Amino acid sequence: MEYEVGRVSGIDLEVLVELFNDAYSNYYIDVQVSPDRLRNLIEREDIHVDNSFVAYEGRRPVGVVFLGVRGRRGYICGMGVRQSRQRRGIGELLMRRALDEAGRLGLDSVQLEVVEANSRAIALYSKLGFVSIRDLGLWERNEPAPWEEPAGPADAVGAALSGARVGALRLACVLPLVDAFNEIRPCWQNEALSLAKLSDRFVGYVAQLSSSAAAYIVFGDSPSGLYIADFAASSRLGAAERQTLCETLLSAVDRGVPRVAARAFNIPLGGYQEAALRARRFDLTLTQQEMVLCLRWR
């Protein structure tokens, strides 16, 4: 079967929503969209509809790939094929077209996240040259937050941080810390550029030591519970200090917005951020691999 490929900008939004929801109907997490939600996703993640593609079987759209662009970096913000048309090479066709487009645009790299259990997708991305750079976790807590506070002044780390002060700041004042405190950028959805577009929904807390910002957290409240968008501490601190400060911020959020249900998406595994979430009784529910393809070496 020969498949034609066209640009996302040439397809009706309602048709695109139906295609997307079909492709992700049996996905590992709920990613079903409405027209408004898809429009917001396109805007928030800097998806370029003129540089994203739809595969057609005759006149019927059967697959889609979204390419986001920020400066010289690209991002695959979703690639899916209708359930009835999977395992026919459509995903590879779309990915190759998106990567050709990234090269034409002069991008240095393209990144994506893929669920660790999705072995077929990982095999495809590896075939195309993507390499895994770290694991990210999706976390949930469905019980009341713990009452205990992080280690107190009697502990050596706690003593060093006993003067930490936590306060709310305008999100615009918090976002510069996202790049300053993370040795590796947060995943695309958690980057400052994405968070800034949700400033009406998110709140920022900052922990200060000696009048200097030492850690931050960005979070929001919704009918389904508390949502932790991102948090990190200064790389000038040791791992134990960073963990304690992040626990302090998570505890402050729990006190300020007491919710039974809480979630945190795409937080790096294996470091102080994971340890802070576990200390606050979050459970790891899904692991994703962050993968990158370098298109040009500087």
Encode pLDDT of 186-235 as tens digits: 999 999 999 999 888 999 999 999 889 999 999 999 888 999 999 999 99
Mean pLDDT of 24-28: 91
Residues 6+ apart with CB under 8 A from 154: none
Among candidate residues 251, 203, 248, the one with its CA nearest the CA of residue 230: 203
pLDDT at position 26 over 50:
yes
Count the residues in the chain. Answer: 298
What confidence score (pLDDT) does residue 94 get?
Answer: 98
DSSP notation for the chain: ---EEEEGGGS-HHHHHHHHHHHTTT-SS-----HHHHHHHHHHTTB-GGG-EEEEETTEEEEEEEEEEETTEEEEEEEEE-GGGTTSSHHHHHHHHHHHHHHHTT-SEEEEEEETT-HHHHHHHHHTT-EEEEEEEEEEEESPPP-PPSP-TTSHHHHHTTT-EEEEE-HHHHTHHHHHH-SSPPPGGGSHHHHHTTTTTEEEEEEEETTEEEEEEEEEEETTEEEEEEEEE-TTS-HHHHHHHHHHHHHHHHHHS--SEEEEEEEESSSHHHHHHHHTT-EEEEEEEEEEEE----
CATH homologous superfamily, domain 4-107 = Gcn5-related N-acetyltransferase (GNAT) (3.40.630.30)
Note the pLDDT of residue 280: 95
Q: Is the pLDDT of residue 298 over 90?
A: no
Tell me: the pLDDT tens digits for 145-168?
A: 887 665 544 454 454 565 789 999
The rounded Cα 138 to chain-centroid distance in angstroms is 9
Q: What percent of the chain has pLDDT over 90?
A: 86
Give the strand pairing for 60-70 and 53-57: antiparallel
CA separation for the pair 105, 72 (Å, rounded): 8
Q: Rounded mean pLDDT of 108-134?
A: 97
Residue-wise pLDDT for 241-270, tens only, equals: 999 999 999 999 999 999 999 999 999 999
Which residues sit opposite 233 in a β-bridge?
215
At 20 the pLDDT is 96
| Neighbour count for residue 120 (Cβ, 10 Å) | 11
Fold exhibited by the domain 138-288: Aminopeptidase (3.40.630)
pLDDT band at 278 (very low <50, low <70, confident <90, very high): very high
- Which pLDDT does position 297 carry in this prediction? 66
pLDDT, residue 29, reads: 85
Read off the pLDDT of each residue in 98-121 and give the average, rounded to a whole number: 97
| Domain extent listing, the chain | 4-107, 138-288
Counting Cβ atoms within 10 Å, is residue 118 exposed (0-12), middle (13-18) or buried (19+)?
Answer: middle
Read off the pLDDT of each residue in 65-84 and give the average, rounded to a whole number: 97
Amino acid 112: pLDDT: 98
